[in-house]
Structures are given as structure tokens and as C-alpha cells.
Structure 1
Amino acid sequence: MAFLIRQLDTQSIGAKIKSLRKKQGISLQMVSNETHIHKKYLEAFENDAYHELPDPLYARHFLKQFVEVINGDPKYFLARYDEECGSCPADVTQLKIPRQRIGKQVLRQWRAILGRLGIALLALILLTYIGTQLHTLIAPPNLIVDDPHDDIQTTSASLSVSGQTDAEVSIKVNDDPVLTDPTGRFTTRVTLTRGLNIITVEAQKKYGQPNIVRRTVFLEDLGKMR
């Protein structure tokens, strides 16, 4: 009996699986339907074509399912598989294909994610730049009126109005245009009327909102004009 067992053990794992499956009257297609294992892997087991199998981690799981369906001993066949596969001339490149595919898929996914993030970042930068430019374009310019001070009294019918604004900004004093120097400095004179006078200084860019400063000046008595 011992001699007979040794003779049986000389069979490869593939031959044993194929023999057992046929004795059970089970086709490869039936095993594939039951286990959802691709038929080519089942054939690879029976033909001892280990180079056509996936990574050993997956191959051992497939083998266990295969053997269970044909009513074999999973422990025995897994031990034989480890023994035979450990010395078989397996194609290392083929064994690594599943991991390589997974790695490539993950890499493609990350590239796609990074690509979308890059596009979103560029769009955000562009929108921020456009928003800043629009704000600069339409925002009221700076305007400082140095003279006269607000709420003053005078006996002079002529008064100097001066101040500072941004370059290339239009200045109006009481709706009259006033020239500015290249730095935005302006000076003009206005004529007052007896009583309360409101001097309006308006600075405005070509397309922006105006900045308006008002000064209240009271002309006391025209008879005392100098």
C-alpha cells in the first residue's frame, strides 16, 4: 500500500486535480461558474502552467476554491502547490502582472486627480487675478484734500484748493476739471459766495467709482475781502 501511495504522489498537482475533477463528473465550466474563477486559470492549474497564474497569493485562493468544488483536500493540494511552485520555472514577469496592473491603475487615478487639482488651482489663481484687477479698476481712487480744512470761516472770496490723488486720475472741483501733475498732485482756486459754501472735490478713474470729499467754508463779509 505504501508503494502505491508513492506512485500516486509522483503525479503532478495538475494531473491529480484533473483526474479528481473527471471522477466527480465536473467540467471546468461548472467550476468556473461556481467559483467565478476564469477558466484559463483552471486550465493553468490542470496543465501545471504556473507562469499563467496570477500572483501566488491569489493563485492559492483560487486553488483552494477549485479543490473544494471537486471535493478534494485543500490542505493537501495547497501543500503540493507550494512544493511544486517553489521549484517551478515560473515566469516572474507574468506573476507580477496583477500587481503591476493595480499599480498602473492607481498611478493613473492619482495622475487624473492631480490633473484635476492642477486645473482647479490654475482656475482659482486666474479668477483671483481677474478679481483683483477688476477691484483695482473699479475701486475709488485715493484722495486727500490738504487745503482747505473742513468747516472754516474766511473773509477772502478766493480760496486755494489742493490735494493728492493717484496718477492718471481725473479731478474735479465743484464740477470743474482740474489738471494734476504726473504724481497726482493738484492745486486750483475757487471763488466763494457770501455765506455757506460747499466745496466738492471729486477724484475718479476712467471706469471706476468716484471718491468725493466735501469741505464746508463760510464767507463772513464780502466787505472785508482782501
Structure 2
Amino acid sequence: MHQKTVGQILSEERQKRRLSTADFAKRARIRENYIIALESDKYEDLPPAVFVKGYVKMYARILGFDSAPVLALLRRDFSLSVRGTLVPREFLTPILKRRNRTARVTSALIGLAVVFLTVSGYVSWQWYQLQQPPRLLITEPSENTVSSPSVTIRGETDIGALLTINNQPVALQPDGSFEVTLEFFTEGIVSLVAESTDQKGRTSTEVRQVQVQF
């Protein structure tokens, strides 16, 4: 059996009292077009829900019936929109589902974008690294150090690079570190020129100047 709507119940109660919509509008001091919209269940033509509930209570007071069951039916079949108006629940549910589905799609797209950017960043960094000359760092001596004729040079470079200091080949340790001592036979400022060359012929150069004193 089809259940009556709120509008149908209110319309039947009014007609039992043999009141026209115009007569009831005058008694209730409610605009007649609101009476017609309410009894036709056209809630989109009505003001916010708080007024609609007030209209139902006014019907009950004037026509002499209990408003509680009608208000309960109203709460069951309708929900508040963001603007405070009443919206049929069957219209609201698909909207919520679409929003949830949109949120899931958005989250998935964001996840894919993060993965893409991470992979792209890694590949770009690797490509950048491959285009760079070998790393070369001299840790000792520091610039303008005063030294004895025996000068010890320490540092590190990329594993597999070819290292020379003042054109003399220098052996690397397995981790790319190196240590070599050069002898100088004259006093004064001398230059230590270190060059590291990788397998593609790219070269890095570091220069240190030290003061040799006997």
C-alpha cells in the first residue's frame, strides 16, 4: 500500500475542515503559494526547513491533529541541503555517492601523480649525475698551508676514475680515497694540481697552493 506523503496528509486534513487553500492561508497567515507548494510536496518552492516545520505545526494547531507523526515522516523522507532547504533523500544519496566516488578518483590521481613525479625525479637525478664529471675532493692540505718539503695530499674521488696529481698517477683505494706524498726541493709557494678523469673522458680539477719551507 502506497504511503501518503506529508503534503497529501496536510491537504486531506485541510479538506476535512472544508477550507480552501485561500481560506487556510488567511487563518494561518501563510502565503497561499506556500500552502499549495507544501501540499504538493514541492519543497524546492518553499523557504528553509525551519519554516516548513513551522507550517506543519500551524496546520496541526488550526486543524486539530498531532503534528509529531507528520514531522517524523518529514524527517524520514527529507534531508537538509547546504542551504538549509529540504531535499528528498533519494536525490541526496546519489550526490553523496558521486562525491565519494570523485574523492576516490581524486585520491588515486594524486597517488599516481606522486609516483610519477618521484620516478621522474629519480630518473632526472640519475641522468644529471651521469652527465657530471667525477667527484673530486681534497681534504688535506688546506689552501696556503705551510709545509715541509714532504707534502701529503689526501682526498677522495669516484671509484674507477683515473687520478693524477701534478701529472703523476695516483692509486685509489677501493672506496675511492687516496693518499700520496710529494717531495719538493725548493722553498716557496707550490701548486698541487689534482685531476680526476672518468671513463667518458670528463675531468674534474682541484688546485691547492702550499708554502714549502725547509
Higher helix share: 1
Instruction: Mark the structure with the bigger radius of gyration.
Output: 1
TM range (shorter): 0.3 to 0.5
| TM-score normalised by length of structure 1 | 0.44
